């Protein structure tokens, strides 16, 4: 993948995500692993969201090595059956030791991700991509910071203007798609 183009995440096109393993959830996915139709794996983290009528969310996507998916899914399958295409494990286990082991494995696997390569806006990661850009410059640095901390401020992700970066502004949109005045 060259750093200057969007090979998979194209604005106005269907999402390339075919499976999501959601490790974080707050009225929708906040973090996890995505498998794409192109055969790539990405770690994703919520950077910002508009909790209005469209609930548009902005995510950072960073590549993961091929074995990451299998390691996570196989470990979780020992406790609950995945439900695809979007699987949100309950993260409840019989003992604190099991929880600690799975938490440690998840962090270990997520830490194998590369640098963030895409910043993507979508209402649904399995639906249409609203906006996307290659992560570059200050946005890449801010996305990298978000990937290194596993608990984000879901209403701003460190104050970076993600909607402006994607060229869609931060003006809330009403239920009919009109910008507020």
pLDDT in tens, the chain (181 residues): 433 467 889 999 999 999 999 999 988 999 999 999 999 999 999 998 887 767 899 999 999 998 999 999 999 998 889 999 999 998 888 888 988 999 899 999 999 999 999 999 999 999 999 999 999 988 888 888 788 765 444 444 457 888 999 999 764 443 334 444 3
Instruction: State the pLDDT at residue 5.
Output: 62
Instruction: State the pLDDT at residue 94.
Output: 84
SS3 for 155? coil
Instruction: State the pLDDT at residue 154.
Output: 43
Instruction: State the pLDDT at residue 104.
Output: 92
Asked if 23 and 32 count as a contact pair (C-beta separation under 8 A), the reply is: yes
Q: Where are the alpha helices (DSSP H) in the chain?
A: 67-77, 96-110, 137-148, 162-165
Cis peptide before 109 (omega within 30 of 0): no
Q: Tokens 């059956």 correspond to what residue?
A: 81
Instruction: State the pLDDT at residue 7.
Output: 81
Sketch the domain layout of the chain as residue ranges.
17-151
Cβ neighbours around 178 below 10 Å, total: 9
């Amino acid at each position: 993948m060259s750093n200057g183009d969007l090979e998979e995440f194209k604005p106005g096109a269907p999402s390339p995500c075919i499976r999501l393993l959601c490790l974080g959830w707050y009225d929708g996915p906040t973090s996890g692993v995505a498998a794409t139709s192109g055969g790539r794996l990405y770690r994703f983290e919520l950077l910002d969201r508009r909790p209005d009528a469209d609930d548009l969310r902005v995510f950072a996507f960073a590549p993961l090595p091929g074995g990451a998916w299998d390691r996570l899914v196989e470990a979780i399958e020992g406790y609950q059956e995945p439900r695809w295409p979007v699987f949100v494990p309950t993260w409840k286990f019989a003992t604190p030791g099991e929880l600690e082991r799975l938490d440690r494995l998840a962090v270990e696997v997520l830490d194998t991700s590369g640098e963030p390569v895409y910043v993507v806006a979508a209402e649904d990661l399995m639906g249409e991509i609203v906006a996307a850009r290659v992560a570059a410059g200050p946005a890449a640095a801010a996305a990298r910071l978000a990937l290194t901390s596993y608990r984000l401020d879901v209403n701003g992700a460190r104050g970076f203007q993600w909607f402006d970066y994607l060229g869609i502004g931060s003006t809330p949109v009403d239920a009919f798609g009109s910008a507020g005045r």
